[in-house]
A and B are shown apart, each in its own frame.
Chain A
Amino acid sequence: GESVGLHLPTLSVQEGDNSIINCAYSNSASDYFIWYKQESGKGPQFIIDIRSNMDKRQGQRVTVLLNKTVKHLSLQIAATQPGDSAVYFCAEGSNYKLTFGKGTLLTVNP
Chain B
Amino acid sequence: EAQVTQNPRYLITVTGKKLTVTCSQNMNHEYMSWYRQDPGLGLRQIYYSMNVEVTDKGDVPEGYKVSRKEKRNFPLILESPSPNQTSLYFCASSYRQGDTEAFFGQGTRLTVV
Contacts and interface: CB of A to CB of B under 8 A. Distances in A.
Interface of A: 31-32, 34, 41-46, 49, 89, 91, 93, 95-103
A29 to B, nearest CB: 14
B40 A42 contact: no
A95 B100 CA distance: 11
Nearest to A1: B59
Contacts, number: 56
Contact of B101 (A41, A46, A102): A46
B48 A97 contact: yes
B58 interface: yes
A46 to B, nearest CB: 5
Contact of B42 (A31, A32, A43, A89): A89
Interface of B: 4, 31, 33, 35, 40-45, 48, 50, 56, 58-59, 90, 92, 97-98, 100-107
18 contacts: A31-B98, A41-B106, A42-B106, A43-B4, A43-B92, A43-B106, A43-B107, A44-B90, A44-B92, A46-B101, A46-B102, A95-B97, A96-B50, A96-B98, A97-B45, A99-B45, A100-B42, A102-B42
B100 A97 contact: no
A92 to B, nearest CB: 11
Contacts of B107: 41-43
A43 B104 CA distance: 5
Given A43-B90, A89-B43, A103-B42, A98 B102 contact: yes
